[in-house]
Amino acid sequence: MENIITVSSLKKSFKTNHVLKDVSFTIRKGSIFALLGSNGAGKTTAVRILSTLSKPDGGKATIGGYDVERQGDAVRAMISLTGQFAAVDEVLTGRENLQIIGELKRLPNIKSKVNEWLGTFGLEDAADRPVSTYSGGMRRRLDIAMSLMGNPKVIFLDEPTTGLDPQNRLAMWDLVKNLAKDGTTVFLTTQYLEEAEHLADHIAILHEGKIIAEGTPGKLKTIMPQRGAHLNFASDADAQKALQLLQQNGIAVGGLTQNMPSLEEVFLTLIGEKKEGESHE
């Protein structure tokens, strides 16, 4: 399959803060790409450059063959952006928000399209209420529905699950997977290794302005720190027994949970830094 996004040697600084020093990656058409990095790594900065909101200081990025810096209009026609913070009109209703985007994208049959989207995102009941009355999850869904109107070829999701409860997070994962099934290329950012591994076909880890590791989840696993494992038992007593008898007798194990390394552990392994326990949010 062909590449739809290519990024090479991208650089961006804010005064003396060199946020992106040398960032390169390519994304295949129709795949899910995850840019993984801790808070402040520069994920949003990268997304803003790719979605034509900000100019890089150096390097080059293209989407569908168009240069994001010089052919902004062509790029904007292909993409949609769901930023880290919901971009919705609070005083308007969900329906009105969708309607306006439909009109700006000049879609045919906007009314029925809007109803369709409201249904898909479970917002029918809240459709005619002002967005200011929505919960965080509903707002996020509306935000994404607005982005999906007009079927963009590439969709940027900047930390789509940050701040969502587990149930809404799972729903978001399903949504992302379904998008990719339909052929949309998904560019998402996340702070969670687990999320990237679960969703993405391709992961790039951004740390201190550079991509320090890149590849399929399977490939990354082989170079990541060793994972431990949790054994779950029905009761404390079982667990105690198990500790003593596990080697001799097979005691029933209720479940096996993988112990994901934290991002910090990943960084430490990948860049071989063993000192400095700088904490990330």
Partner 1 sequence: MSKQKPRLFYDAKVMFKRCMKIALRNPEALVQATLTPIFLMLLFGAVFGNITDVGDYSYVDFIIPGIILQAVAQATSYTAINVNTDMMKGIVDRFRSMPLAKSALLIGHAGASIMRNVMTTAVIIGTAFVVGFTPKGGLVDWLIASGVLLLSVTAITCFAVFCGLKAKTPESASGLMFPLFILPFVSSGFAPTETMHVAIRWFAEHQPMTPVINVVRSLMLGHPAGNDLWVALAWAVGISVLAFALAVRRYMRKMG
Ligand X SMILES: Nc1ncnc2c1ncn2[C@@H]1O[C@H](COP(=O)(O)OP(=O)(O)O)[C@@H](O)[C@H]1O
Instruction: Provide, rounded to whole angstroms, the least separation between the CB of residue 28 and partner 1.
Output: 22
Is 45 a residue that touches ligand X (CB under 6 A)?
Answer: yes
For residues 206-224, one letter each, b for 16 or more C-beta atoms within 10 angstroms of the residue's C-beta and e for the rest, the string is bbebebebbeebeebeeeb
Instruction: Tell me which of 10, 32, 42, 196 binds ligand X, using CB under 6 A.
Output: 42
What is the rounded CA–CA span in Å between residue 160 and residue 150? Answer: 20
Instruction: Tell me which of 17, 133, 135, 240 binds ligand X, using CB under 6 A.
Output: 17
The residue among 79 and 172 lying less far from partner 1, judged by its C-beta, is 79
- Which neighbouring-strand residues pair with 8? 60
Q: Which residues contact 37 (CB under 8 A, 6 or more apart)?
A: 43, 189, 191, 205, 206, 207, 263
Nearest-CA neighbor of 66 among 56, 51, 54?
Answer: 51
The residue among 83 and 150 lying less far from Mg ion, judged by its C-beta, is 83
CA distances from 120 to 115, 130, 212, 226 (A): 9, 19, 38, 40
Instruction: Provide, rounded to whole angstroms, the least separation between the CB of residue 202 and ligand X.
Output: 18
Is 135 a residue that touches ligand X (CB under 6 A)?
Answer: no
227-236, long-range: CB within 8 Å, 24+ apart, which pairs? 227/258, 227/259, 227/260, 227/261, 228/259, 229/256, 229/257, 229/258, 229/259, 230/256, 230/257, 230/258, 230/259, 231/255, 231/256, 232/256, 232/257
Instruction: Tell me which of 67, 96, 238, 265 binds partner 1, using CB under 8 A.
Output: 96
Q: Which does 53 bind (CB under 5 to 8 A by kind): Mg ion, ligand X, partner 1, none?
A: partner 1
Instruction: Tell me which of 4, 5, 10, 19 binds ligand X, using CB under 6 A.
Output: 19
Instruction: Tell me which of 40, 65, 119, 136 binds ligand X, using CB under 6 A.
Output: 40
Which H or E run contains 239?
Answer: helix 236-245
Instruction: Provide, rounded to whole angstroms, the least separation between the CB of residue 42 and ligand X.
Output: 4
Is 36 a residue that touches ligand X (CB under 6 A)?
Answer: no
Residue carrying structure tokens 């399209």: 113
Q: For residues 70-109, which are near Mg ion according to CB under 5 A?
A: 84
The residue among 48 and 207 lying less far from partner 1, judged by its C-beta, is 48
Whether the CB-CB separation of 26 and 214 falls below 8 Å is answered with: no
Instruction: Provide, rounded to whole angstroms, the least separation between the CB of residue 265 and partner 1.
Output: 33
Instruction: Tell me which of 8, 55, 109, 221 binds partner 1, using CB under 8 A.
Output: 55
Q: For residues 41-70, which are near Mg ion according to CB under 5 A?
A: 43-44
Question: What does the binding site for ligand X look like in residue numbers (CB under 6 A)?
Answer: 14, 17, 19, 37, 39-45
Question: What does the binding site for partner 1 look like in residue numbers (CB under 8 A)?
Answer: 48, 51-55, 73, 76-77, 79-81, 83, 85-89, 91-92, 96, 100-101, 103-106, 130, 146-147
